[in-house]
Amino acid sequence: MWIIVTRKRLFSLILIILSISILLVTLQVLFKHSTIVSTDSNSNGYVILIIDDFGNHGDGTDEMIDLNIPITTAIMPFMPHSLSDAKAAHNANLEVILHLPMEPNVGKKEWLGPRGITCNLSDEDIKKIVYDGLNEVKYAVGINNHMGSKATQDKRVMKAILEVAKENNLFFVDSKTSPASVVLEMANNLNVPCFTRDVFLDGTKDINHISKQILRLGDIALKKGYAIGIGHVGVEGGKPTAKAIKSVYPSLVEKGVRFITITQLMEILQD
């Protein structure tokens, strides 16, 4: 009798220990999962869309601002519509950054726009252009480069620009127009938050190509955690880019991709 009771007790004890173990393992798995996606349990990857070349009220400007998707608008300074485009983007609750014209290795001088940063300028002249640009493009929380394949390879030029970014608590996004860019290295030296473009979305009016590029961006985000795509208003994209974003957006959201700004990305990475 005594032995039977003990066996029963032993059996119950084993059952209890097993149940507790299963509960602990389950809790551990849940906890691990919640730390991987600590900021948003519905997201499997973040996409940041930067749209360049605002400031000229080029093709697709209104469509892009009306998308109701959190894009980052990169606005060229010293252009006829720099201030009005910046205001329109800001009023639509979109993130605004300064799209700084910088010297390319190849390309027409007029593509650079007024007061482009060329490598023959002094540090003081470079800084003056960045200060004036920031004054004009109100609400800018960061900077990225327009063209700039030559200037982003130049340590002295990048140091001058990034020092102004640091003074103003701005991040820098390297559009990566040169594989030999020193932007990330120089930004790290100065402790300026810096990000690099993963995919160029357009450079064409071909909506099928642009849609594929946005899907590719989504795939990179799902693998890497986040991905930065750059599109354009004006001749290099415009309305077809806005249309492609609008049509591809729901399928990416369904895959668990969340669209955020660079500021939100910095908050997520800090957590």
User: Footprint of Zn ion on this chain (CB under 5 A)?
Assistant: 52-53, 146
Q: How far is the CB of 145 from Zn ion (least distance, A)?
A: 8
Of residues 45 and 104, the one with the C-beta less far from Zn ion: 104
What gap in Å lies between CA 99 and CA 270, rounded to an integer? 25
Residue 207 — φ and ψ, nearest 5°?
Answer: -65, -30
Of residues 218 and 231, the one with the C-beta less far from Zn ion: 231
Q: How far is the CB of 90 from Zn ion (least distance, A)?
A: 19
What gap in Å lies between CA 20 and CA 225, rounded to an integer? 34
Of residues 239 and 256, the one with the C-beta less far from Zn ion: 239
Of residues 154 and 202, the one with the C-beta less far from Zn ion: 202
Of residues 146 and 197, the one with the C-beta less far from Zn ion: 146
Q: How far is the CB of 37 from Zn ion (least distance, A)?
A: 33
**What's the gap between Cα 214 and its chain centre?**
13
Q: How far is the CB of 75 from Zn ion (least distance, A)?
A: 10
Q: Are 159 and 190 in contact (CB under 8 A)?
A: yes
Q: How far is the CB of 49 from Zn ion (least distance, A)?
A: 15
Q: Are 266 and 87 in contact (CB under 8 A)?
A: no
Angle 169-139-193 from CA coordinates, rounded to 5°: 30
Of residues 75 and 162, the one with the C-beta less far from Zn ion: 75
Q: How far is the CB of 147 from Zn ion (least distance, A)?
A: 6
Q: Report the residue count for the chain.
A: 271
* Tokens found for residue 182: 């020193």
DSSP-H helix ranges across 225-256 = 239-254
Q: Is the dihedral of CA 82, 233, 222, 254 positive or negative?
A: positive
- Closest residue to bound Zn ion by CB: 146
